[in-house]
Amino acid sequence: MKIFISSKVPEEILEKLKDFEINYHDSFKTLSKEELIDGVKDADILLCPLSDKIDREILESSDSLKLVANYGAGYDNIDIEASKELGIIVTNAPAPSSAVSTAELTFGLILASSRRIIEGYKDLEKGNFNGWKPTYFLGNELRGKTLGIIGMGNIGKNVAKRAEAFEMDIIYYSRTRKEEIENENISYKELDYLLENSDIITIHTAYSNELHHMISEEEFKKMKNSAILVNAARGPLVKESALIDALKNHEIKAAALDVYEFEPKFSDELLKLENLTLAPHLGNATVEARMEMGNACVENILDFKNGDTPRNKVN
């Protein structure tokens, strides 16, 4: 069987696939659609990252392609309807460490925004630091603040666990209520209540078309002027232009992004905002999480090779 691997993967994962005939794009450079089409033309299996947009045209371009193994838990980068019609199996790669890693990154963004760490670094870099002063770069404690979590899946639950350690009050909104996690510190609220009453709002819901721009102009107007928004889920959940306006007009205090509406592209305006912390999609970028994902991909591929239904089939 032939595998086309369209992005650099850990060497340990590559070694586990050595019995296959491999066409390996050993680079972080994202391939163009034309290059992806060329890569899958005679491949039985495509192993690809979330950053590859695998649309109908790519799927239809190969008569041999039978499996797309996505290196990531999400799979909104793949045309699932087209894959069903063409009889191509799509698998994802869930990993317990992914939720932990993304929750930790989320708290890094929350702390950076609340304590203005990036702003402070930039001010120091400009030579403006002249020693400790009573009112220089004041931020806010997390203790006693209300954290609003949108999406209480595995990542949301891990964020809530860490927020409890910071003595925060936690409210959450999820399309499916999770009563088993509720206690004196964690309570379910409707989305409007969460937007209006949270000091910090963090998004962890899975992306679907109906949730496109779930945070837009109307939602920003409901938030506190002192609120901080964190998005470490999917970029299109937040309307980027509305976020820029909300930060410029001080409708909210600050924001932190790990994902972008038009990723990997983003507006230059984002770089100009002092009250915005940016990260290059590092949510589950840990050795532990990426190895678990890679091993899940290998398991899916070996299941397929052995004639079994891949354990993480999503279509």
What amino acid positions are annotated as catalytic residues?
234, 263, 281
N-term to C-term CA, the chain = 22
Which of 152, 164, 133, 146 lies closest to 226, judged by CA?
A: 146
Query: Distance between CA atoms of 82 and 56, rounded to whole angstroms?
Result: 6
Query: Can you read off the two tokens belonging to residue 226?
Result: 């002192």
Q: Which residue has the tokens 């630091």?
A: 129
CA of residue 255 relative to chain centroid, distance = 15
Please name the amino acid found at residue 274.
E
Q: How far is CA 114 from CA 119, 250, 299, in A?
A: 11, 15, 41
Q: Are 52 and 7 in contact (CB under 8 A)?
A: yes
Token pair recorded at residue 154: 């595995």
CB 232 within 8 A of CB 255: no
DSSP per-residue codes, 248-311: HTTSSSEEEESS-TBTTB--HHHHH-TTEEE-SS-TT-SHHHHHHHHHHHHHHHHHHHTTSPPT
Structure tokens at 163: 């927020």
Around 8, how many Cα atoms within 13 Å sit in the side-chain half-sphere? Answer: 5
216 backbone dihedrals φ, ψ, rounded to 5° = -140, -160
Nearest CA to 65 out of 46, 52, 48 is that of 46
